[in-house]
Amino acid sequence: MSITCEDVKKTLDWISSFGANDTGGMTRLLYTEEWLDAQKALKEKFERLGMKAEFDEIGNLKGTLEGTDGTGETIGTGSHVDTVVNGGTLDGQLGIIGGYLAIADLLETYGKPKKNLAVFSIAEEEGSRFPAVFWGSKNLFHIQNEEEVISIESIDGIRFVDAMHQCGFDFQETKDSLMDGIKQFVELHIEQGNTLEMEGKSVGVISGIVGQKRYNIQLKGEANHAGTTLMKYRHDVIQVYAQIVTESIAKAKAAGDPLVLTFGKINVKPNTVNVVPGEALFTMDCRHTDKEFLQSFTKEIENDMKRIAEEHGVKIDIDCWMDEEPVPMAEEMIEIIKASCEEQKLNYRVLHSGAGHDSQIIAKYIPTGMIFVPSIKGISHNPAEATKLEDLQQGIEALKYTLYKLAY
């Protein structure tokens, strides 16, 4: 048997109905009615296939197809079920329905596996409703910090704890039983970039997930009259900001791939046409696959920013509020996925992930691999998010034969 494009479309359309909106996109936020309906529907779907389906305390869902060897060793796959606000129909849920379709086809074609096969519908990854990310995967390994979420609220004033309780879930008190016996994990996901599409590849085998450093940087100069303050007497935060961006971007381009550097947000005071700006708060995001390079490059940029600010008589405060190390995928998993692609003559290449995924949490504890499919024009977190059905089908085939090698 094989998984057809029609199978993929039908299953995607079904899961996308939970949270669909009239823009063609979807909104399915953690602990909302749409989120709960999707999880319950997936549980029923898993059970109809003959899986044992169960929730943990916080709302992660696992469906397990029991193997024949009786050891309890389990090969896991899956991704997150939540979305961003008005997002697309592939991010996250592709990994869930892809895992389901792969396991269903393996069962029909080869019968029961030797090892257990499990598909996870992870409760949350995006942080779109509440300011907390990886709540689902962190709970799988009991590394969540409950103090971080006890007092947080959504933008419309709903408390995290109240929303969780309303859906019938609560804080996890002990080690998560869903992870019992999980020996290896593989996640299928859209690329959310344009490398595979630009290079004409249908499948990406992921070598690792980049490290990320994110900053809030505050500049304090002196607001003054735009007409009467001569240029040589100004302490203009925008001039400082412009020089920082120009010099930093030039250094990033000189460093080359895979380094990326982004200045994504700026707030200026007093933000009016006839006043020299006296205060600014801006962000910086830097990513690389090599931990040492990421640290040395950002340290150099930090020193540059201090120098530039001092030259203009402007005070600077640099707050690095995120410092996530790069996470490599397991070599054994990379080689198994590559072998599956080669044996099935799938059109693939090896690349890294420039975005964060649940696999970066999981890979710290068990051998993990990732498979990408192309994103048309690199668009994601947007109703226009799309992938050709043929590429989706190839990605699920890569997942299927990887699971076959691991479990059969």
Which residues carry a binding-site annotation? Answer: 80, 91, 126, 189, 214, 274, 287, 381
User: Residue 224: helix, strand or coil by DSSP?
Assistant: strand
Specify binding-site residues for allantoate. Answer: 214, 274, 287
Is residue 117 a contact partner of residue 103, using CB atoms and an 8 Å limit?
Answer: yes
CA–CA separation, 164 vs 170, rounded Å?
Answer: 6
Is residue 312 a contact partner of residue 239, using CB atoms and an 8 Å limit?
Answer: yes
User: Residue 385: helix, strand or coil by DSSP?
Assistant: coil
CA–CA separation, 75 vs 64, rounded Å?
Answer: 9
Is residue 368 a contact partner of residue 359, using CB atoms and an 8 Å limit?
Answer: yes
Specify binding-site residues for Zn(2+). Answer: 80, 91, 126, 189, 381
How many CB atoms sit inside 10 A of residue 250's CB?
10
CA distance between the termini of the chain = 16
The first and second tokens of residue 342, run together, are 């080669």
| Paired sense of beta strands 368-373 and 182-190, if any | parallel
Which residue's structure tokens are 């249908």? Answer: 202
